[in-house]
Amino acid sequence: MLTIQYKIVMKTLFVLIGMISTTFCTAATVDTIPATNNLIEYTGRIDFSDPAAPTFSYSGVSIRACFTGTSIAMIMNDNVGQNYYNLILDGKLFDTVRISKGKKTYQIASGLENITHEIEIIKRTEEMFGKTQFFGFVVDKASTLVTITNQRTKLIEYIGNSITCGYGNEGVNGGTFGPTTENHYMTYAAFTSRNFNSRHLAVCRSGIGIYRNYDGPATGNSDCMTNNYTRIFLYDENPKYTFSDKPDLVCIDLGTNDFSVSGGDSSRFVSNYFRLIDTIQTKYSMPNILCLLGPMMSDPTLTSVRKYLQFIADSATQKGKGNVYFFEMSAQTGPFGIDYHPTVAQHIKNGLELTEYIKLLKGWKVTPSILSANLTKPKHIQIEFNTAISDTVKDFSGFTISGDEKEYTISSVYLDTENKKLIHIILNDGMNIGEKISISYTPGTIVSADTVLIGAIQNYEVQNNLTETKITKGSTTSNGAKITLTCNKNIDNSSNIDGLTLTDSRGIADIDSFSISNTIITLYLSNPTLKGDSVFAAYTGTAFYGVDEVPLTQFDKLSIKNNSTVTANKSVNKLAKLNVFPNPNSSEIFFYQIDKSLISGKGKLVVISNHGKILFNQAITEAEGSIDLNGKVSKGLYFFKFSFIDTEITKSVIIE
């Protein structure tokens, strides 16, 4: 039973990642655990010629141990300085570290609770980025290593090319490949191994093939995988690999590069594939071998290679030296990683497919773990697992949800009716845009389809997918009868537009009715907007939502593009004879000028807010004058309404 991992969660109180010099370690405060300690678990192709400094280059090499104490560091050296490693503490992937040239000590974690912890270091970059030496761990004075509690009894070996390496899986197509864009830990291979709580051994290089490497001659390359498979280091003839670790399953994903450009020779491909299988069967006793067809091929090559691999698997099995199987992973459809390679999402998809196949093939149980956790609505979290789950008491209790400032109360937890890998957590209170969220789980009655209990989850990071709901633009129709507002997302069609106001030079427009369709709100007006008039929208309501239930952000002034061709009538033309200035204004003192022919007796000036509230009034006796609002209003859009016996004139103004 494992602590759920796969997601980066940084706990700033106790984790400090970085590189420091070896002077950090003083004899008075720490002890060094040498690389020769028999409680350290090594997995991968590793050169132990110098037991005190084991050396390795392939992706996925793992160094694992359990230790007591409050801190852990590692001593390493790299011959190039471009290799990156994932650091996993207590089953949780929490950061990545680059190993530089020269023997140095790298602090992993400090300030931990003084109990037993597990540390695992996994190489995420491939052999092209150089070799690394490991010299041991550094722990608290008087602390030590202890027996690993989570024993992994299975071993899967993967032989592959750039797909298995994870080439460009953390980049975007069109980008530049480099060590920071490659993460073997997030490949179909590593993901499948974790699904079975299996040790993981990878022999892979980008561009390599069964007999012909990428863009190689049709006759083949001497440094193909079949020729160099028995080596610890791909390009070093010695030392040879001992094959002392016996895998329960060997997966081969090769062939993409043999046929990636024209000129691939099918007979050479098949004969060399048989030769590689013969080597594997010679080194391991009656191994199960799985020939994989990767996700990067397309027809007509795809159909041809599928036939070759099926023939190879069937024929090799008939030799009686071990069972050989064929499995095809689903082809990628995009988006793509760098140079059209699979993304992490594609790797996870293929890993799930491969997991289900191996589960049936070997009868292994899947270790349940979280694939993703997403906040889809302010009160709604969805958690997807790598396998179907259930709860014997059907209440799915044991979860806690933490935000930036508090722990949230859970209203209900339930299993999705269609996807049994998905559970929904409903909260009593809504979360905020950008809020950091984490999930924890205390083991209880939730189990996988294989009746494996879900282990403890600690502070698993939830992806907060909430975004602001806002109106981005608006425009009138040519007849001035409708205004369309465009939102940045689809709108809940049960939304209420109370608090939404439209204004032009005549004042607040009368909205007769409205409709909502996807991102568009259409407002039908009682009176058309006029050609050349300025039109604005404002919103102060609380009942307008995106489909993700995020409320529309309130705003004071949105300029509407006026496409109206309706010409003003004579009475409306009087509006041109009113001038209020300066507008916009930051002093709150306005001056006005009214054509004397409009004034018939005493009148008044009323100041109205953009949602219709009267804020101020003043008597008007002259055609010219001023009004001092004297701090009675704040910044925003307002309307000055001049009223006389038989005339009313409204002017929109802005206070900055």
pTM of the model: 0.80
Q: CA separation (Å) from 1 to 39, 367, 428?
A: 20, 7, 31
Q: Name which of 34, 31, 16 is nearest 97 in CA terms.
A: 16
Packed helices 344-362 and 188-195: angle between N→C axes, nearest 10 degrees:
40
Q: What is the arithmetic mean of pLDDT over 166-172? A: 97
Residue 611 pLDDT level (bands cut at 50, 70, 90): low
Write down the pLDDT at residue 202.
98
Residue 568 pLDDT level (bands cut at 50, 70, 90): low
What helix, strand, coil percent values describe the chain, rounded to 5? Answer: 15, 40, 45
Write down the pLDDT at residue 13.
29
The model's pLDDT over 371-428, given as tens digits with 9 standing for 90+, comes to 999 999 999 999 999 999 999 888 899 999 999 989 999 999 999 999 999 999 999 9
Write down the pLDDT at residue 624.
86
Domain boundaries, the chain: 1-151, 152-367, 370-464, 471-560, 575-655
End-to-end CA, the chain: 62
**Rounded Cα–Cα distance for residues 164 and 228 (Å):** 17
* Ranges 350-359, 380-389, 500-509: which has the least confidence: 500-509
Q: What is the arithmetic mean of pLDDT over 52-68? A: 98
Residue 577 pLDDT level (bands cut at 50, 70, 90): low
Residue 576 pLDDT level (bands cut at 50, 70, 90): very low
Write down the pLDDT at residue 18.
40
The model's pLDDT over 95-114, given as tens digits with 9 standing for 90+, comes to 899 999 999 999 999 999 99
Write down the pLDDT at residue 493.
81
Residue 575 pLDDT level (bands cut at 50, 70, 90): very low
* Ranges 20-34, 71-85, 186-200: which has the least confidence: 20-34
Same fold, 471-560 and 575-655: yes
* Span 575-655 CATH architecture: Sandwich (2.60)
pLDDT mean across residues, the chain: 90
Residue where the block lists tokens 């193909």: 224
Q: Are 486 and 471 in contact (CB under 8 A)?
A: yes
The model's pLDDT over 288-298, given as tens digits with 9 standing for 90+, comes to 999 999 999 99
Contacts of 440 (CB under 8 A, 6+ apart): 399, 400, 402, 456, 457, 458, 459, 460
> Rg of the Cα trace of the chain?
34
Write down the pLDDT at residue 181.
97
Sign of the alpha-carbon dihedral angle for 156, 157, 160, 166: positive
Burial of 298 (0-12, 13-18, 19+ CB in 10 A): exposed
Write down the pLDDT at residue 440.
96
Residue 598 pLDDT level (bands cut at 50, 70, 90): low
pLDDT > 90 fraction of the chain, expressed in percent and rounded: 75
Write down the pLDDT at residue 648.
65
Q: What is the arithmetic mean of pLDDT over 474-502? A: 92
Write down the pLDDT at residue 8.
35
Write down the pLDDT at residue 629.
83
Rounded to whole angstroms, the maximal C-alpha distance in the chain is: 112
Write down the pLDDT at residue 613.
74
| pLDDT score of 15 more than 80 | no
Write down the pLDDT at residue 644.
74
Q: Name which of 214, 184, 219, 220 is nearest 202 in CA terms.
A: 184
Q: What is the arithmetic mean of pLDDT over 122-149? A: 96
Q: Are β-strands 199-204 and 83-89 bridged in parallel, bridged antiparallel, or unpaired?
A: unpaired
CATH 3.40.630.30 fits 471-560, yes or no: no
Residue where the block lists tokens 């030590």: 144
Write down the pLDDT at residue 607.
84
What is the Cβ-side half-sphere exposure of residue 296, based on CA atoms within 13 angstroms?
26
Residue 594 pLDDT level (bands cut at 50, 70, 90): confident
DSSP H/E element including 188: helix 188-195
Determine if the peptide bond prior to 528 is cis (ω within 30°): no
Write down the pLDDT at residue 646.
61
The model's pLDDT over 552-562, given as tens digits with 9 standing for 90+, comes to 999 999 999 99
Residue 144 pLDDT level (bands cut at 50, 70, 90): very high
The class level of CATH for 370-464 reads mainly beta
Write down the pLDDT at residue 5.
38
**Rounded Cα–Cα distance for residues 279 and 120 (Å):** 31
Write down the pLDDT at residue 634.
83
Write down the pLDDT at residue 477.
94
> What b/e sequence results for 472-487 when a residue is b if at least 16 CB atoms lie within 10 Å of its CB, and e otherwise?
eebebbeebbbbbbeb
Write down the pLDDT at residue 612.
66
Write down the pLDDT at residue 21.
38
CATH superfamily of 152-367: SGNH hydrolase (3.40.50.1110)
Q: What is the arithmetic mean of pLDDT over 529-547? A: 93
Residue 602's CB is within 10 A of a number of other CB atoms, namely: 10
Domain 1-151, what fold? Jelly Rolls (2.60.120)
